Amino acid sequence: MSQPPGPAPLPARPLLITGARRADAGSGDLLIMDGRYADPADAPADAERVDADGLLALPGLVDPHTHLREPGREDTETIATGTAAAARGGYTAVLAMANTTPVTDTAEAAEYVLDVGAREGSAQVQPVGAVSKGLAGEELAELGLMARSRARVRMFSDDGRCVHDPTLMRRALEYVRTFGGVIAQHAQDPRLAGGQACCHEGEVSGRLGLPGWPAAAESTIVARDAQLAALTRSRVHVCHVSTAETVEVLRWAKQRGIAITAEVTPHHLMLTTDEVVGYDPTYKVNPPLRPAEDVTALREALADGTIDAVGTDHAPHARQDKEHAFADAAFGMLGLETALGVLIETMINTDRSDWSRVIEAMSHAPARIAGLPGQGRPIAIGEPANLTLIDPQARASVDAAASLSLSRNNPWHGRDLPDPVRMTVWAGRVTYRHD
């Protein structure tokens, strides 16, 4: 069970957590007062005490890629419900993508998202600004004004659409370099992957008669953007990497010292094109699910650091938008509540990664890439108290109806997965507690 969605509650008193192990710094009691870690020896007599024996303490998770849908599609998700789902998944911060209605392409729009998040969120909500006005790919949005606004936008993305024009992409990279920003690219060549394309181009798409797009539609854009990042001496971030070819491009670029980072989604680490065989539109996602060899390459790349971070690409949809024939349904699936469980299943339980690498990919790296100075910090006295307490051995069958999201396009429904999160603390406030 969980707390109802809504504003993060103010703590009634200090919080003393006893017995928790720390993946990056041994063990010991944790005292949280006034939003920060304090010396446990200073715990007041009236502090709330939490017995965390057998639990693992992680820095709060940070999602660099979340669709909260507000403003514009509050029937599918709101900032309140989306961040409640985030807290359920162990997240203390999310980067809210710009493809809302209206688009987050002005300082005023970015500040609106920031303010609603501060008022109603159960996690820090950091707006992502659009690269182009209206996501149209024709004219740069107000990058500088958004960067200088109260929202302090540092990540910009037309996610859902590729910044296909190389001149526009070059200008965007040059502009954000002046204030340390980053362009997060939805790498999908619209000509190679345009029209009615709805799944990976390969044996499965041919057998099912579904129009597909090739892996090259992703990797060619990543190669181009790596070259542009080198040319402009700026930073580019690749959203939702899905192919082995893209992994090779990333390795090539990083070996040359190009400032490129990348994320992978939990669903691309576990699900394959086999899910599409039943024509279930739940599994229609952009970029599409790929064959098993791509999944293996993505796991290896995350383990060795070629892929820097995990981004959920949490994409809620109303039933009327998702329950169609596969080719006509909306792209996207939920991911915030199950992301850590999928990482445990695919990376920890398979011995591909240890906890330090998972923490880096789900907390430290996303905060660093997105420029969130108070997030992804170590668990240490004086640091902001953003914390996730987990039981790595806990498991449960995923029930889509129990999700804190307003939407139900959950690809994990009915699957037995790790269900680790027992408590989430954001800025010293308990935002989720597993009963």
The binding site consists of 65, 67-69, 99, 159, 186, 240, 286, 313, 317, 331-332
The residues, ordered by sequence, that sit 6+ positions from 27 with a Cβ below 8 Å of its Cβ are: 19, 20, 21
| Alpha carbon distance 11, 426 (integer Å) | 11
- CB-neighbour burial class of residue 393 (10 A; exposed 0-12, middle 13-18, buried 19+): exposed
Nearest to 64 by CA among 128, 137, 145, 131: 128
Binding site feature residues for Zn(2+)? 65, 67, 159, 186, 240, 313
Q: Which residue has the tokens 């303490």?
A: 57
Contact 287, 261 (CB under 8 A): no
Q: What DSSP letter does each residue of 295-330 carry, written as one string?
A: HHHHHHHHHHTSS-EE---B----HHHHSS-GGGSP
Beta strand ranges found along 205-354 (DSSP E)? 212-213, 236-238, 260-264, 309-310
Residue 361 structure tokens: 């990919």
| Alpha carbon distance 228, 166 (integer Å) | 8
| Alpha carbon distance 61, 65 (integer Å) | 12
CB count, 10 Å around CB of 52? 21
The residues, ordered by sequence, that sit 6+ positions from 14 with a Cβ below 8 Å of its Cβ are: 31, 32, 33, 38, 43, 44, 46, 47, 48
158 is an active site residue: no
Nearest to 77 by CA among 86, 67, 87: 67
- CB-neighbour burial class of residue 137 (10 A; exposed 0-12, middle 13-18, buried 19+): middle
- Among residues 189, 225, 308, 313, the one annotated as catalytic is 313
Binding site feature residues for substrate? 67-69, 99, 286, 317, 331-332
β-bridge partners, 38: 31
Percent of residues in the chain assigned helix, strand, coil, to nearest 5: 35, 20, 45
Name residue 169's amino acid.
Answer: M
The residues, ordered by sequence, that sit 6+ positions from 167 with a Cβ below 8 Å of its Cβ are: none
In a 3-state reduction of DSSP, which class is residue 394?
coil
Residue 270 structure tokens: 């576990």
Tell me which residues are annotated as active site.
313
